[in-house]
Structure 1
């Protein structure tokens, strides 16, 4: 659990500084475009937004500047400087473009940025560049990874899992382990934006991958994005391990789990605990998380295109705390289907973004989760945790 009440203060605020980006990523939730939008928040309006984030109080929410490609804004370093001066822990999520130079990263560090996040979606240059739609992205991204670490910036690696890239996960995990990263965030596809045309995993495959990520937590700091049922998986696996039960049989894991697990074993990444496993944080859309678009619209998540207000007209603090959309998302009693009946609904709640993208219903069950409420090993004991 976050250390403060997420009804009052988000754990993290993501600001989409621009949708401009020279890449053509197959899964882009923003459907990014080559040129900037004239209705973007100006430098001073962005500063006012950051002052609103600071007004949530201490500890200040994490503030991430994303895009598009944030480096398409010439005022990026100035924005980082102003955010840091307001006491915000500022991070930047740039794209792998020619703007991502060592000098540019040094400028972010000098302005007060604490970390960057980079996307690595495949294990080879050809596959990654094909996913990102432009040649040379893989090389630029890996160079930036090295440069950022040399400069003292923390690095988070983001990977989007699709049907076409899932078998690259062991190789990417090895790269994260060898090169070092603050965190590896594995994104589970939400069919929105360009992502509607990308093949995601089905529920059984998702369960297999989540269990592989649990195994990997012995050696790599890993989290999931838009796979909130990872919290359930972690509780189930901990309980089974504590009783010495075989998780593969108890949970009915499939061929994808066996294959990915075997390939992680070949690389020495599982089966030899070497670090404290990172517990998944209970943060989700509108519940510790808030997204502000390049035009100032406030959403519970960048993958959930339902606005709750506009920071040009109303304080982000008021929107987050009081808007019906955000307060509703913090009420598990509104969930329907299997999510509404699930004993883990207070812990998980499912991906509201995926439910909305697939069904048009914010409160529907998450189609990427195949768990039948009450069917797991000792569900009543796990639910109490």
Structure 2
């Protein structure tokens, strides 16, 4: 049985709140600069193709987009250039320079292609990029390369990771959790610890794009993995993407720890196996203050702009709310009916609508839509039954 982790004075809060009104200003803007990419990743949301789309935002249109992001005010939202592979755009360095000159701190999410060279990474830093994110979906080449569709991608990713740090770039590591790599998670965590990263962002598969063909996780498996990620939080800076119920777990675990209670009794064999292996690798130690998960969700602090300029609450939610070619991003984000509805927790259905955690979680709207066609349906990968947490008074105080 796992010993309870007691609360410490270092952990002042279980959640991190955005200090600005997320109905008016997003916390993060992600722009899909292109869908062109030479890789063939099994989970690819964008269903990337080798060539660029003729309707991609032009350089001048991209400049106007960045001006609008900066116009949200200071401090500017986080701004991420993703793809496809952003290196497929020949104007990438000009775009970064322009964004930096407008007060943004652009981050770039490149693919591990032959373009990901030390020289290009140094140019990203010189142009003004603040950070990059690299994908790592296996602890060794066989798992990662099979997922990415080409041999050699794992080695190229590690080489780029080291070269980026040498160039002065901060590095975030992204891992998409699917059934193919569940047992590899402790090994990936060990790499993140040993190589060093600004953040380990663990994505939970949304069955959209090519990801529709991959087998889904069960709610019990997701619960087990989320608890292991929470355990790792005092050794590795970890966050989740499209697993908003990680915020529920952070609050529950805080309350249980303060009461000196064990959290593991309701978890399954996957949790026990992953936890044991993490302990054997020295990955569960109180070395740092846990990074509280931040309270944002699709359309509520988060906005995605596609390669052709359509605006979405999330890159995994293929429902558009307008186009930056026709309306200002600021106007769409603040007033589009879809965005306004997603900020209202009373619109949620099923278990999410009845859940006492709905104001800090809300579930993955992207996964709800992918699985049911209803953006307000309950989160299909959540195991929690509303009202079942026994310490509701403690919960009210924490929230």
What does residue 129 of structure 1 align with?
A: 145
SS in 2 for 1:113: coil
Q: CA deviation at 1:89?
A: 1.4
- Counterpart-to-counterpart distance in 1, 2:232 and 2:297: 22
SS in 2 for 1:30: coil
Q: CA deviation at 1:380?
A: 4.1
What does residue 260 of structure 2 align with?
A: 244
What does residue 352 of structure 1 align with?
A: 365
- Counterpart-to-counterpart distance in 1, 2:158 and 2:148: 14
- Is the CA contact 1:343–1:383 (under 8 Å) kept in the aligned structure 2? no
- 1:1-385, aligned counterparts within 5 Å? 1-249=17-265, 252-270=266-284, 272-384=285-397, 385=399
Give structure 2 stretches of 5+ with no counterpart. 1-16
Give structure 1 stretches of 5+ with no counterpart. none
Q: CA RMSD in A?
A: 0.7
- 1:128-162 deviations in whole A, cap 9, x for unaligned? 11000011111111100000011110000000000
- Is the CA contact 1:18–1:40 (under 8 Å) kept in the aligned structure 2? yes
**TM-score normalised over the length of structure 1:** 0.98
Q: CA deviation at 1:383?
A: 3.8
- Counterpart-to-counterpart distance in 1, 2:270 and 2:393: 28
SS in 1 for 2:179: coil
**TM-score normalised over the length of structure 2:** 0.95
- Counterpart-to-counterpart distance in 2, 1:235 and 1:310: 37
- Is the CA contact 2:255–2:394 (under 8 Å) kept in the aligned structure 1? no
- 1:34-83 deviations in whole A, cap 9, x for unaligned? 00001000111000000010110111001000000000001100100000
Q: How many pairs align?
A: 382
- 1:344-381 deviations in whole A, cap 9, x for unaligned? 00010000000000000011000000100010131343
- Is the CA contact 1:236–1:377 (under 8 Å) kept in the aligned structure 2? no
Runs in 1 of length 4+ with deviation above 6 angstroms?
none
SS in 1 for 2:239: strand
- 1:202-249 deviations in whole A, cap 9, x for unaligned? 100100000000000010000000000000001111111111111112
- Is the CA contact 1:161–1:200 (under 8 Å) kept in the aligned structure 2? no
